Each structure stands twice: as structure tokens, then as C-alpha cells.
């Protein structure tokens, strides 16, 4: 039987989501925990992969087991086995063909920037000392909705077949001393959000103009975009699926 597992994690201690040969990943810890609990080898497939140091408030992965499970009891026991920086939020039975990655219809990320030194956000937000022009950054963010090819924000030497993404939301908001960027799209390229944040910060600090943002995107050249913002400010916050893949009782 196939299940979707919903989890959240603080990515500080992990080398990203995906299994790595010489470093600890969230996927590795989750697979070991599930395999120990179910007493059989369990592999998980995630909705996407987060880089080293990136966090997730909501990420789904699917896994298969031979028999039906008691969801509430399983969630409780798995959380007692997992380290404190990984949490299972829920488990849902899905159709046998449901795929955590390929059936996702949209994904949302948030990037957090703190404008003051805060010991409680040390590894959870990017600290900057000056406030950028947020209104101008929002005008730059609106430009993203006009394009679909984001090769300029993609990590070089990546193995993707297409750089096309449909961005449906991109907005900056101030909440106290925290500056939050929210972006939603059907898919994201590796390093895309962090490269966008770095570029929009360049706009906010007057290093590049709105016209240059257009030119950067049209160039399809990563070297023209801004430096990637640090990983620890980035969060995967939402993954959406069609209701038809979930099994209702």
C-alpha cells in the first residue's frame, strides 16, 4: 500500500533532503527510521530536494508497505524514533500510482531576512544590517510573473531537461524586523529561489535597475544574476496535490 508522509525539518544539521554518499541527509534518516519501524526496507520519494541547510515546514514523500497502518499510532511512534529536528506531521493513504514529486501541482517557498541581530534566528534567517527598498523589490518580483524560462537563476551544470517554470506569486512583506519573501510556482530549479532573492536584494540596494532584471532573465546566463542568498534563510512551506490521489474512507 502507498502512503504520503508529511514532514517538517530544521535543515541546519543535514546535507539537504536527498541521499548523499558521504553526508547525512533527511531522506537517509527518514528511510532508516521507517525501515526500523516496519521491519522491512522502506524507500521514500520526496516532492523535491532541498539543499544543505535549507528547512522545510511542509514536505511530502511517498513510501510503500505491505499492510495497512494505524496512522495516529504510527505518527506518534515515528516521532519518538526521529531526531528532534525532524517531525512527522501526518500520514495519508494514497492511490497506488500517486507520486510525491510528479503529482505535485505547486510548491511554495519562503525566505526570511532579519534586520537585526537575533540569537533566536541565528540559523533560521539571513541577517542584514540595512533595510532595502521593499517597494522596489516588489516591483522587481512582479517581473518574474511575466517570464517562464528561468535558466539565469538555475545552478550551472544541472541535469534538468527544461528551465521552464510557471511562477504565480512573488511578494515581499515586512513583519516587524523580519523581511519575508514568498514565491509560488509549479516547479523550481536548483538554487532558483536563493538566486532570485540575491538578485532582488541587489534591486533593493540600488545595485541594479528594474530594466536590468528583464535583461538578466532574457540572458539565460546565471553569471548575470545576483549572488545566491544563504541557505539557512530558505524554507519549503507548502506542496499542493490534486484531491483525487488521496484515498477516502
Q: For the purposes of burial, counting CB atoms within 10 Å of the CB of 83, is it exposed (0-12), middle (13-18) or buried (19 or more)?
A: middle
Q: Give the per-residue pLDDT at 155.
A: 85
* CATH number of the domain within which 24 lies: 3.30.70.580
Can you give the residue range of the structural domain that contains 60? 2-102
- Percent share of the chain, pLDDT over 70: 99
Q: Which of 102, 132, 148 is the last residue of a domain?
A: 102
Determine the average pLDDT of the residues in 29-47: 96
Domain boundary among 42, 68, 102: 102
Strand partners, 236: 56, 109
Residues 84, 97: one domain? yes
Q: Provide the grid cell at 159.
A: 541535469
Among 102, 122, 139, give the residue marking a domain's end. Answer: 102
**Do 209 and 111 belong to one domain?**
yes
CATH of residue 210's domain is 3.30.70.660
pLDDT at 159 over 90: no
pLDDT exceeds cutoff 90 at 136:
yes
Check pLDDT > 90 for residue 154. Answer: yes
Residue 249 scores a pLDDT above 70? no
Provide the domain count of the chain: 2
Measured distance CA(122)–CA(112) in Å, rounded: 11
Question: In this predicted structure, what is the pLDDT of residue 13?
Answer: 95
Read off the pTM: 0.95
pLDDT value of position 46: 96
Same domain, 123 and 216: yes
Segment 119-133 shows an average pLDDT of 94
The residues assigned a catalytic role are: 51
Instruction: Please determine, for residue 49, whether its predicted confidence score (pLDDT) is greater than 90.
Output: no
Rounded distance between C-alpha atoms, residue 241 and residue 249, angstroms: 18
Distances (CA, A) of 55 to 52, 178, 228, 234: 9, 17, 16, 6
Q: How do residues 59-100 score in pLDDT, each as one tens digit?
A: 999 999 999 999 999 999 999 999 999 999 999 999 999 999
Amino acid at each position: 500500500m502507498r502512503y504520503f508522509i508529511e514532514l517538517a525539518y530544521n535543515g541546519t544539521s543535514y546535507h539537504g533532503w536527498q541521499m548523499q554518499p558521504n553526508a547525512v541527509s533527511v531522506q537517509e534518516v527518514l528511510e532508516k527510521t521507517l525501515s526500523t519501524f516496519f521491519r522491512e526496507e522502506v524507500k521514500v520519494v520526496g516532492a523535491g530536494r532541498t539543499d544543505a541547510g535549507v528547512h522545510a515546514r511542509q514536505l511530502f514523500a511517498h513510501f510503500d508497505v505491505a499492510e495497512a497502518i494505524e496512522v495516529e499510532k504510527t505518527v506518534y511512534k515515528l516521532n519518538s524514533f526521529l531526531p528532534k529536528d525532524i517531525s512527522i506531521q501526518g500520514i495519508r493513504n494514497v492511490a497506488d500510482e500517486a507520486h510525491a514529486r510528479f503529482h505535485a501541482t505547486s510548491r511554495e517557498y519562503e525566505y526570511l531576512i532579519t534586520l537585526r541581530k537575533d540569537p533566536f534566528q541565528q540559523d533560521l534567517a539571513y541577517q542584514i544590517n540595512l533595510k532595502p527598498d521593499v517597494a522596489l523589490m516588489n516591483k522587481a518580483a512582479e517581473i518574474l510573473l511575466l517570464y517562464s524560462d528561468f535558466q539565469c537563476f538555475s545552478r550551472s551544470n544541472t541535469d534538468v531537461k527544461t528551465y521552464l517554470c510557471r511562477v504565480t506569486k512573488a511578494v515581499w512583506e515586512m513583519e516587524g524586523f523580519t523581511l519575508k519573501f514568498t514565491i509560488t510556482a509549479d516547479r523550481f530549479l536548483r538554487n532558483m529561489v536563493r538566486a532570485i532573492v540575491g538578485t532582488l536584494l541587489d534591486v533593493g540596494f540600488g545595485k541594479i535597475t528594474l530594466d536590468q532584471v528583464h535583461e538578466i532573465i532574457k540572458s539565460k546566463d546565471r553569471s548575470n544574476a545576483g549572488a545566491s542568498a544563504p541557505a539557512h534563510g530558505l524554507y519549503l512551506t507548502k506542496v499542493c496535490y490534486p484531491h483525487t490521489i488521496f484515498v477516502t474512507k
